Structure formats: C-alpha cells, structure tokens
Structure 1
Amino acid sequence: MTPPETSTAPPRVAVRRRLAHRVPVRVRHYWKLLAACVVFPVVCAVAFGTVRVTPLVTSSSGNSADQVTQNIVGTTDLFDATVAHRITVTFRDEDYQRLLDDFWEDDEKSFLEADLTVDDTRIASVGIRLKGNSTLGGLTRNGEARQRGFGRPPGAGQGPQPRGNSPGGGFPEGGLPDGVPPGGAGPGGAGPGGFGRASLKAEEPENLPWLIRFDEFVEGRRYQGHREIAVRVSGMGGGTTVLNEAVSLHVLAAAGETAQRYAYSSFTVNDRPTTARLVVEHPDEGFADTLGGDGVLYKSLASGQFTDQGDDPTSYADDFKQITMQGSQDLQPVINLTRWVNTSSDADFAAHLDDHVDVQALARYLAVQNLLLNFDDMAGPGRNYYLWYDLGTRRFTVVGWDYNLTLTGDAAQGPHDTVRMGGRLPQGGGIPLDAMQLPEGMQLPEGMPRPDGDAVDERDRPGGFGGNKLKERFLATAAFKMVYENAYRDLYRKIYADGTALNAVESITKVLSTVTGHDEQKTTADVEQLKTLVRQRAAHLATDSVITGG
C-alpha cells in the first residue's frame, strides 16, 4: 500500500503560508494593485513635483468618447410637441432619501437608480438626479430649508412667505433687495414678471426639477438618440406651467434659431399625484450632432467668470465643462477665446472678433435674449449658455439654453436696454452694487455673486448680478451696432410682427390642456398674463426706431 503523500515544503515555507492566510483575502488578491497605488504617488511627487501637468490632445479625431450600443426607439417621438406624453418614474424611497442626504449635507447632486416608462415604453435602471442651481434654492425637506438656500432664510420652513408679482412666489420677509424694481408692474410690464420662484418640497418629487440620464447604469444606452432629458420647473417668475419657456423655444425654432426641443408630459413618481411637466432636450452629444459639422460643445458653468486666468487649464475648471469629444479635444480653444476677449484692444476686438466668433450668430443670439426679455442669459447669474467650437472654421457660436426666465419683466424694454432682474435698465448703467442689500438671512446659491459688495469680483457689473465680457464688448462696439440692429429687426418680425409668439401661446395651451395632471386654473392665469405681455411687447417695439428704421 502506497503511503499517503506528505508535504515536502521546507518548514519556513509552511510557516510563511500560514502567516499569509492571516492577511484578508481581498488584500492577498490585490496586493500588487495596492502596492502600485502606494508607489505611484511617490514617483509622481519626485518626478513632477515642480512641473505643471496639462491635458494632452492625443488625437484630432471627431469621435465621441461614448460608444452608443443601444438606442431605444419607443412608440412616439418624445419631442413631438403637438401631443400629450406620459412619463412615470419608480424608485425606492431609501435611495431617494440618500439622494436628499447627499444634496443637503454635501451639496452633491447624486444619481439614484429608477425605472422609467415613457409613452408605454419601459426603460429599466435609468439614472435621475436633481437639476438646477438657484431653482433648488427654495427646496425644503421636512419643513426646513437648506442653509444655502436661495430666496429663504435658513430654517424658514413652510411658514407663510411673501409672494412676488408672479404665480411663482417671491423673496422672503423683507421683500426685494433695496434698489431692485419689482417686475411685472413697470411700464407695460404685464407678464408673469417679478423675481419670484416656485416653492419646492422634497416630499413632492413629482414637482421637482430632474435630469434623467439613460446610460447612468446601463452603459451606451440612448432613448431616441438622447442621453439625457430635463424635466423643468418654473424659474423666478416663470409661472407654474413654464409656458414662457415652451413659447420661447417654439418661436426660436420657428425663426430658424438654435433651440432645444420640448414637449409637455404627465409625470408620475411612485404612487404620488400626477402632474403636468415640461420636458426639454438636454444639450448633450445628440444635441451637438444637430449643430452641424464637426465641433466641440462646451457648457458654461454658473460659477464661470469668463476672465483671463492664465495658461493653466485647471484654472478654468469652474468656468466651462467640455461636453463632447473628450479625449480627442480639450479646453484650449475656450481658454484662447477668453484670454483674447479680455486682453485685446478695442481696435483689435472690432477688427478681428469675426476670426474668433461667428459675429452674425452672436448678434442674433443677443437680439433674441432682448426680444424675449431673458434676464438669465450668458450674462445672467446662471451663465446659461453653451459654446460650440467648429473645428472647420475654428470659430465659436453661442448656443442658448434655459429659457424659464424669459418673457418676464418690462414689456417696454428697448433693443439697447439691458435686461435686469425685475425689469429694464439703460445699457451700461443701473443700480450700484453697494446700493443693494439682501434681506436678513437670505442666502445666494454657490457661484452667484452677492449684490451688496461682499466677495465682489469682475463678474459683478453695475446694475445687478452677472456679466459677460464678450457680450458687453460686442454691444459696446460701434462697428457691430448695425449688425445687431439688423438681426434685431429681422427677428422682431419673425417672433412678434407676424403673430408667431401669440399663436404659439394658443397652440401650446391647447396641447397642455390635454395633459393629465395639468391645473386648469393656474394654466388660465399664466396664459392670460403671457398673452398680455406678448401683445404689449409687440406693440411697444413696433414704434421703436430700430424696428422702424428711423
């Protein structure tokens, strides 16, 4: 009989094996990776301790970094604005509470996993997160506001709040900051105007602003070519139906200008009541494909300054986010533009702006913002715009986004007046910053400069929040005055003179009235206010010298 085999390993090897088994399994399996993680920072510190690391462009390819592997067709075009749509969202409450914890405690907008049904097409495991900056400032949870909330003092809770001139609400006790005119009550100012806001409660997720991302948990997935869509809420003065944004997007498209697509949909979250919501195309890779040619899309951030911050790309991380072609392109074109706009002489700016920016397109963008009374454009507190860099022409085009503050304020604003919170101010003038005081306890969202002089920097301009050097220099340069006025005159005719805006209110309202969950009383009030503003705006501009050519 053969004796059983016995180990021939030397005693010291056996001891080493026994000692090894005292180390946790995961550590034994990944010891090489852990060692590398320890060694790599040391090597970097020694080798690059005095060297600035910048991103490298390794390819000039036009390919996007994201590979689309699944495109869900669905049953109905989501952005067919002529029909009512249906969206339901289902998620676990514990995931939702975690999302709220992240936002409340760390100011982080994290995604939670949810199941989505769009017009009877079920899509499992999508990502949804809260969307917005100042929009979320009025959000409360269990009756308590966030400490950084905008429009309410910390801990304001759900007590009675003074309301502005709009259906959307208003400032906290103390009213508007000193020196800020009330909106909607100025000359001809009949619209939903005013610096109000919607009241949002965490307990009512069906009313919150959401970003829906189809590939957050399933890589490479799209819905009808879209990676993301936005579920909008009213802005500061936009009314509860967001009708002003829908009308603005409609007339922009009708005038041949770049605009995101939109539609109204019923919106149901878990077993909560159904509401009617405006759903808007989000400027992502799919949207960039509609801009024509090969190019890079950059998003301006609310914290952006559009100032010269040197050569280091990391210094511009709070200014712009690259949306497309990551890995093959970088931020350098935006850096070059920003530096040139801020450092060029007046003569150089007038002579060579068209080498850097599509001047005709910029004139039309700025004319539209004025025509639609948009307080929060590229120079507003939210810095709501994108930059499209055409790799063929090597020029930028400004792309508008976020129109929930349009068609509010003073209908009598002129083509050369500057849109300001709550009304118009003469271009180049306005309320001194030191004349404006915030109500006690009022908090501004991160990235928005204070109007009372605290932490003021170049972003602050006389007359209110925000500012953008490109916009300001363009409008102040005599060489571009005719270009701007020609664009303004043409767009006035396409938006107001031929009745497009007024007809848009009518047609959109008819669709909204068929959406499950719409509030008939609020819709009627918003419609009448908006019609009045549109009529007054059209009538006032019809006599302006820019329109008449006088």
Structure 2
Amino acid sequence: MSLRHRIPVRVRHYWKLLAVCAAFLVTCAVVFSTVRVAPLVTSASDDTADTVTRNVAGTTDLFDATVAHSIKLTFHDDDYQRLLDSFWTEGEKEFLEADITIDGTTMASVGIRLKGNSTLGGLTRNGVSRPGGFGPGGGQGQRQNGGIPGGNPGGFPGGGAPAGGGFNRASLKAEEPETLPWLIRFDEFVDGRVYQGHREIAVRVAGMGGGTTVLNEAVSLDVLAAAGQTAQRYAYTGFTVNDRPTTARLIVEHPDEGFAGTLGGSGVLYKSLASGQFADQGDDPTAYTDDFKQITMKGSQDLQPVIDLIKWVTSSSDAEFAKHLADHVDVPSFARYLAVQNLLLNFDDMSGPGRNYYLWYDLKSRKFTVVGWDYNLTFSGNATQGPHDAMTMGGGRGGFQPPEGMQPPPGAGQQPGGGQQPGGGQQPGGAQQPGGGQGRPGGFGGGGHKLKDRFLASAAFTTTYEDAYRELYRKMFAGATALTSVDRIASVLATVDGSDRQKATAEADQLRTVIRQRTQHLATDPVITKA
C-alpha cells in the first residue's frame, strides 16, 4: 500500500485546510511569542465562580464560643516531612492531605498547610531554623528570654506593657505539629465541599511564634462583635494531631467566600498580602500579584477596582483626597476600623509588617471597606498610647529595633511619601497629624500605609475619626465590656481538653491588667472627654 493511502480519508480530503491552519499557528507563534499578554476580566458580572456541592452539617456550631470543641487531624508523616521540605527549601506553604474529625463528624481528605509569616519566623526543625528565620541556625540570631532577641524577660521590647498574647514566647517546633499555626481547607481535595458554610478555618497561635491560648485575639474579636463591628467568629477546641498530645487551640473563621457573604450585599473580597506595598505599579494587573489576592468572584471580577484605588490615593492632592475620598471609600467605616486598631493596641494592622487586612468592594456603591484580620498581636503595646499616637511593635513612641540580622519591612522608619519624622511634624501630603500626635518612629513599625496615613493626616477627617473613637471606647472599654469578655472566655477555655490552667490563668491576669490600664488612661483623654 502506498504512503498516500496510509493517510486517513478525512485528512486527505481536507489537507489544504489543515495546511493553512498549521501555517497560521506557526505564524502566530513567531509573531506573538515576544508579546506579553495580560489576563483581563471585564468585571461586568456579580456572579461567583465558586460552587458548593456539599455542606457538611456537623453536630455542633463550630463557632459556638460558649462550649469546648474537639478537632482531630490524621495524616502520614512522610507527607508532613515533604511539606516541611518544601517550606524549608522554597518557602512554599503546600497543602497535605489529612483526615479530620470535628466534634464527632469525620471528613476524609481535607487540605492543611502552615499559615503565617512572621509567626513562622521562629519555627525550628531538629533544633534549626529555616534559612531567613530568626531562631537557632537561621542566620537571624538566637532568641533570648523566650522571645524576640533582646526582649525583656516576661515582657515586651521597649518596655511596653505585657499582654495576653505577644512576643514573650518560645520558638515553634516542627516536631510538635499540634502547636503550629494551620489553615484547614475542606475543599482542597474534594471539590465543592464546605463545613457549616466554611471553606477554610484557621488554627491560631500567639504572635511571633509559640503560645496556644491566644486569649488576646479571642477577647479582641469578642469585643469587636459586641460593639457591632465586623469580626471573624472564633472558638476554643481541643486539638489533636495523630498520636501527639492534645492541646487547647483557638480556631478562627477564615475570611473566605462564606465570610464574604456576611458583609452584606454583592461585592468582591481582596486579601492584602504581607509582601504588599500599596504603591502604583502601572496598569498591568500581573504587577500586583504580590500585593493582593482576589478571594471571591474569580472569573467574573478582577483586580481593577483595587488598582484604581491605589492610583487615586497615591496621586491625588491633599485637597482632592479630602474632598473625594468618600467617592472611593466608606469613610465612617474606615474611621471605625482605624479607631479599633488604636484602641486594641494592634500595631500589626494594615500598616504593620503583616499587612493584615482585607478590602471589600461593594459592587452597588462602588466603594471600599477595610476589613480587619489577624488580631494575635493586640494589647501588645503601651497602654497609655493616645488616640493620635502612631503604633509600633512594643508600643509607645520609641518603637522596637529589630534583632541583629532581622531586616525591617521596606520603608520602616520613614514616613510614607517622604514625610518628616516626629519633630518635623509633617505627614503625607504635607499636613500636620491631627492632635499633634507622633508620626511613625524609626522602629520596626511596618513602614506605614498611604491610605491610613493620609486619612489620619487630613484635618478633614479628624472629627469623624474622633467621634468613632469615642463611641467605640465607650462600647468596648467604659462599660467593662472587655474585662467581662476576659472572664467569660477564660472560663470556657478552662473546660477545653488540653488546656494549661496555670498558663491560661496567668495570661488572663496579664490581659486584665493591660485592659484596666488602657481604660483608665483613655478615660481622661481629651478625645474621650469631649462633649
């Protein structure tokens, strides 16, 4: 048989058309191979691309904070070691497959991965930190006094008041997975599955490594909810990994699609990344992949609204910013967000090294709302910090100098926009900070945030901010709300399997002290006493 007859009939009939198509593809490859193609979405739809096919009901509301819960994880050690290998060599936080039992309900093949940035800096494996860590062998110096190098024993760097969470913690150990920070994802290996409407939950630890009670974060979330502010739900659980000892852990609702549904209306949720800088990087969406991650409505919405916000905030004049911010941002909500961070002494907010916040873009109003997240460093500053004082690690005005070899975030110690340090009194845009408060000291403060700094620097928003501050102080502190929250949460924690009673009692006492000091100091502040 000739070669011609070995070719299928259909191919022989249409060989000319096939040849033309092949030539076209070759031409495209040659002509366009050096042209960058940016992924674009029209942002015309408010439909979500995520579909829930199975919602596991469970037996008990996972975030019923009034009862003790139970979570058990089972996974193969070989998979765990591969996860650690990836994190150690590449810095990647990969998912491993595990089985989970929550309050008696078992689910196979959930995904779990390490969660955190600075928190994991002290993680050791066989006594050695990963490259870039600040534990033994990590190239960042030896931890001292059970915490940050140079820290005060039993306290905070710079002489700040002790808190319920904070820095005076031992390093995390890979050999003790029951103590590590985890993100649990129910649909990582089983598409469409959620648990009680949640795609993800976070297993928390105290800031900068170690600790399990995280009482400061639980109290912060509790008082925020009591004050009518947006906050993730939480609960305490006995937490067991394989055949390891059970420990008491705080679990927190992770801001996922389910959480976005509680924010009201139709919108898009974006997560700020720790590597983010909130700076104009042009029109290419791919230039912002280190800054924000889109959480909801992938495929029907895109990052363009965030890019537009960044461009406007960083380029508008002071007069334009004061006059038109309300066209871009929900101003009263933003004032409340900023007031909350100061009241709770949370230096690691949207301007901190962790860039811990989300942006909610309402598709109807076309405005942004800033959503707080990650409160495990609250109450870690100076209890006498005023409403207009800038926050830094360790609190107060002197800031905290990072350990030798541990680099501060880009821009730390400088005012955004080239403003002067305290003494010059200049803020971004050349305005004086309201109330004559301190600018960002030359410590390990996180480098600022253009939106936050310009808002606080503008006299146009001083009244809005102070009114929000006064109202939230009265709701969160003046009526002993925060102290009552400590008592209530501590009583539940005492019933959780694996709870260290002595440690929990000591941390509760420390937290009460900070709250009392904060309440008493602010009670006489002019912002609070203003009629």
1:259-278, aligned counterparts within 5 Å?
Answer: 259-278=231-250
Compared with structure 1, are the counterparts of its residues 260 and 350 closer, same or farther at alpha carbon in structure 2 (3 Å cutoff)?
same
Match of 1:88 in 2: 72
Residue 88 of structure 2: which of 79, 104, 114 is its match?
Answer: 104
Match of 1:211 in 2: 183
Query: Is 1:76 matched with 2:60?
Result: yes
Residue 150 of structure 1: which of 124, 134, 156 is its match?
Answer: 134
User: What secondary structure does 2:471 align onto?
Assistant: helix
Residues 151, 444 of structure 1: 8 Å contact kept = no
C-alpha deviation, 1:313, in angstroms: 1.1
Match of 1:449 in 2: 410
Where in structure 2 are there 5+ consecutive unaligned residues? 8-20, 420-427, 429-438
Deviating more after overlay: 139-148 vs 206-215: 139-148
The one-letter amino acid paired with 1:489 is: R
What is the distance in 1 between the residues matched to 2:165 and 2:201? 27
Q: Which has the higher contact order (CA 8 A, sep 6+)?
A: 1
Match of 2:103 in 1: 119
Match of 2:436 in 1: none
Residues 182, 195 of structure 1: 8 Å contact kept = yes
What is the distance in 1 between the residues matched to 2:107 and 2:454? 47
Match of 1:527 in 2: 508
Compared with structure 1, are the counterparts of its residues 452 and 398 closer, same or farther at alpha carbon in structure 2 (3 Å cutoff)?
closer
C-alpha deviation, 1:55, in angstroms: 2.8
Match of 1:512 in 2: 493
Q: After superposition, give the CA deviation of every residue in 1:201-221 in whole Å (9 maximum; x if it has no partner).
A: 110000000000000000000
Match of 1:28 in 2: none
C-alpha deviation, 1:236, in angstroms: 3.3
Match of 1:475 in 2: 456
Match of 2:271 in 1: 299
Residue 409 of structure 1: which of 381, 390, 400 is its match?
Answer: 381
Residue 135 of structure 1: which of 111, 119, 124 is its match?
Answer: 119
Compared with structure 1, are the counterparts of its residues 184 and 510 closer, same or farther at alpha carbon in structure 2 (3 Å cutoff)?
farther
Compared with structure 1, are the counterparts of its residues 239 and 123 closer, same or farther at alpha carbon in structure 2 (3 Å cutoff)?
closer
What is the distance in 1 between the residues matched to 2:228 and 2:71? 29
C-alpha deviation, 1:47, in angstroms: 2.6
User: What secondary structure does 1:246 align onto?
Assistant: helix
Match of 1:336 in 2: 308
C-alpha deviation, 1:13, in angstroms: 9.3
Match of 1:29 in 2: none
Q: After superposition, give the CA deviation of every residue in 1:131-171 in whole Å (9 maximum; x if it has no partner).
A: 001111111111111111135552689xx8412xxxxx322
What is the distance in 2 between the residues matched to 1:103 and 1:476? 40
Residue 170 of structure 1: which of 147, 151, 160 is its match?
Answer: 147
Query: Is 1:279 matched with 2:264?
Result: no
C-alpha deviation, 1:191, in angstroms: 2.9
What is the distance in 1 between the residues matched to 2:527 and 2:312? 30
User: What secondary structure does 1:366 align onto?
Assistant: helix
User: What secondary structure does 2:113 align onto?
Assistant: strand
Residues 122, 209 of structure 2: 8 Å contact kept = no
Match of 1:495 in 2: 476
Match of 1:26 in 2: none
The one-letter amino acid paired with 1:79 is: F
Residues 152, 443 of structure 1: 8 Å contact kept = no
Residues 374, 419 of structure 1: 8 Å contact kept = yes
Q: After superposition, give the CA deviation of every residue in 1:234-278 in whole Å (9 maximum; x if it has no partner).
A: 113895410000000000000000000000000000000000000
Residue 329 of structure 2: which of 357, 374, 377 is its match?
Answer: 357
Q: After superposition, give the CA deviation of every residue in 1:184-208 in whole Å (9 maximum; x if it has no partner).
A: 834xx24357644441111000000
What is the distance in 1 between the residues matched to 2:294 and 2:342? 27
What is the distance in 1 between the residues matched to 2:336 and 2:156? 28
The one-letter amino acid paired with 1:162 is: Q
What is the distance in 1 between the residues matched to 2:80 and 2:413? 37
Residue 195 of structure 2: which of 203, 223, 244 is its match?
Answer: 223
Query: Is 1:185 matched with 2:159?
Result: yes
Compared with structure 1, are the counterparts of its residues 354 and 41 closer, same or farther at alpha carbon in structure 2 (3 Å cutoff)?
farther
Query: Is 1:43 matched with 2:34?
Result: no
Match of 1:381 in 2: 353
What is the distance in 2 between the residues matched to 1:218 and 1:42? 42
What is the distance in 1 between the residues matched to 2:135 and 2:349? 20
Compared with structure 1, are the counterparts of its residues 65 and 276 closer, same or farther at alpha carbon in structure 2 (3 Å cutoff)?
same
Match of 1:25 in 2: none
User: What secondary structure does 1:200 align onto?
Assistant: coil
Compared with structure 1, are the counterparts of its residues 198 and 42 closer, same or farther at alpha carbon in structure 2 (3 Å cutoff)?
farther
What is the distance in 1 between the residues matched to 2:53 and 2:440? 47
Compared with structure 1, are the counterparts of its residues 13 and 44 closer, same or farther at alpha carbon in structure 2 (3 Å cutoff)?
closer
What is the distance in 2 between the residues matched to 1:375 and 1:290? 26
The one-letter amino acid paired with 1:513 is: A
What is the distance in 1 between the residues matched to 2:56 and 2:38? 38
User: What secondary structure does 1:97 align onto?
Assistant: helix
What is the distance in 1 between the residues matched to 2:91 and 2:25? 31
Match of 1:541 in 2: 522
What is the distance in 1 between the residues matched to 2:28 and 2:489? 62
What is the distance in 1 between the residues matched to 2:381 and 2:210? 10
User: What secondary structure does 1:296 align onto?
Assistant: strand
Match of 2:344 in 1: 372
The one-letter amino acid paired with 1:290 is: T
C-alpha deviation, 1:308, in angstroms: 1.1
Query: Is 1:200 matched with 2:172?
Result: yes
Residue 325 of structure 1: which of 274, 297, 310 is its match?
Answer: 297
C-alpha deviation, 1:452, in angstroms: 8.7
User: Aligned-residue CA RMSD in angstroms?
Assistant: 3.0
Q: After superposition, give the CA deviation of every residue in 1:367-392 in whole Å (9 maximum; x if it has no partner).
A: 00000000100000000000000000
Match of 2:284 in 1: 312
User: What secondary structure does 2:144 align onto?
Assistant: coil
Residues 377, 383 of structure 1: 8 Å contact kept = yes
C-alpha deviation, 1:53, in angstroms: 2.5
What is the distance in 2 between the residues matched to 1:161 and 1:263? 31
Compared with structure 1, are the counterparts of its residues 258 and 524 closer, same or farther at alpha carbon in structure 2 (3 Å cutoff)?
same
Compared with structure 1, are the counterparts of its residues 238 and 129 closer, same or farther at alpha carbon in structure 2 (3 Å cutoff)?
closer
What is the distance in 2 between the residues matched to 1:208 and 1:238? 8
User: What secondary structure does 1:420 align onto?
Assistant: coil
Match of 2:422 in 1: none
C-alpha deviation, 1:49, in angstroms: 2.9
Compared with structure 1, are the counterparts of its residues 330 and 161 closer, same or farther at alpha carbon in structure 2 (3 Å cutoff)?
closer
What is the distance in 1 between the residues matched to 2:356 and 2:464? 23
Residues 97, 112 of structure 2: 8 Å contact kept = yes
Structure (1 or 2) with the larger CA radius of gyration: 1
User: What secondary structure does 1:408 align onto?
Assistant: coil
